[in-house]
Amino acid sequence: MTQLSFDVQLNPRARSAGEREEVLANPGFGQFFTDHMISIDWTEGRGWHDARLQPYGPLVLDPATSVFHYAQELFEGLKAYRQSGGSIVAFRPHANAARFNRSAARMAMPELPEDVFVQSLELLVQTDREWVPTTDGHSLYLRPFMIATQAALGVNHPSRTYKYMVIASPAASYFSGGVKPVSVWLSTEFTRAAPGGTGFAKCGGNYAAAFVAQRQAVQEGCDQVVWLDAFEHRWVEEMGGMNLFFVFGDRLVTPTLTGTLLPGITRDSILSIAAELGLRPEEGKISIEDWQSACESGELTEVFACGTAAVVTPVGSVKGADRGWAVGDGTPGPVTMKIREELVGIQYGFRPDTRDWIHKIC
């Protein structure tokens, strides 16, 4: 087991219990951060070094730092949950560590030993454990990321130095007023990812290129954009930053991981628990024509998106440049809700964790 030794610098200006409670009363998502952060540096030849926990605060970087120019960057997202017995746990953090390294390989960035990734989360959560909300459905969102830090504009090689960091942000339940189906816009004008590109990597560049399509979805009166394949703009890939599932009676279908989709850990978890819930999980191809006709024939009863932030979100209606249709009756379907309850149940500890997905932190 690889472990680094972390230098611990506690924050002399850590917020008081009162200030913290005020934030935790209404945390929103990604707006407030805890008192500490993790930083580990990497240099060619020397590897990972200077691991530390330090007060949360701004970075000072040279304007020539390569991440600002060439976007050599990647991130992860997972949550720490306070379970009913009081323990604080993470959900499948080793899966995030493995995905972090697959993203790193694609972005020509150094890999971080999985144990060090998990160790860094543990240290931050232990130190800032008072920031893990106690409110039902709330959690502490963890954001590990890595940036290229070499101050040089040459484009013929990747950066020779990097910084890995973890920050943490208390998060309210995504659906404060109950689970509500979203409306989606089929993007035929823009492409998120193409074969050979970075679609499977959790890198900021994928998001930078997606905002214009998300804005178009909103202009079309929809909540979210649905991405289609790059060649035919016909095969369904993902919804915004979430994976999609299609419910045909007891058949549960999700688009195959072709390299252009982000391999969600929530997606993988749902495929794994589906059989126990009486469903037949399968990976396959779904075209927008099939999506529409199966909704109209009543064969396709529910569609939902899944990801760490919102867990499971029903899709209620679909709109494209030349078509539009409803999914189900516009209310969250029974299969969607059953899967949601099972996953949330495992995360918060009121359903058994039979797969060793729950990683106790403190």
Ligand X SMILES: *Cc1c(COP(=O)(O)O)cnc(C)c1O
Interface contacts to ligand X, rule CB under 6 A: 77, 202, 238, 241-243, 262, 264-267, 307-308
Nearer to ligand X by Cβ, of 147 and 265: the residue is 265
Nearer to ligand X by Cβ, of 8 and 194: the residue is 194
Distance CA 337, CA 273 (A): 14
Nearer to ligand X by Cβ, of 23 and 306: the residue is 306
Q: Which of 190, 214, 210, 293 is nearest to 246 (CA)?
A: 293
Euclidean distance between the first and final Cα of the chain, in Å?
A: 20
Nearer to ligand X by Cβ, of 30 and 324: the residue is 30
For the bound state, the minimum distance from the C-beta of residue 130 to ligand X, rounded and expressed in Å, comes to 25
Nearer to ligand X by Cβ, of 53 and 147: the residue is 147
For the bound state, the minimum distance from the C-beta of residue 350 to ligand X, rounded and expressed in Å, comes to 21
For the bound state, the minimum distance from the C-beta of residue 305 to ligand X, rounded and expressed in Å, comes to 8
For the bound state, the minimum distance from the C-beta of residue 93 to ligand X, rounded and expressed in Å, comes to 11
For the bound state, the minimum distance from the C-beta of residue 242 to ligand X, rounded and expressed in Å, comes to 5
For the bound state, the minimum distance from the C-beta of residue 337 to ligand X, rounded and expressed in Å, comes to 18
For the bound state, the minimum distance from the C-beta of residue 262 to ligand X, rounded and expressed in Å, comes to 3
Nearer to ligand X by Cβ, of 23 and 310: the residue is 310
Nearer to ligand X by Cβ, of 4 and 252: the residue is 252
- Quick one: how far is CA 265 from the chain centroid? 8
For tokens 């009486």, what's the residue?
Answer: 278
Cβ(240)–Cβ(177) under 8 Å? no
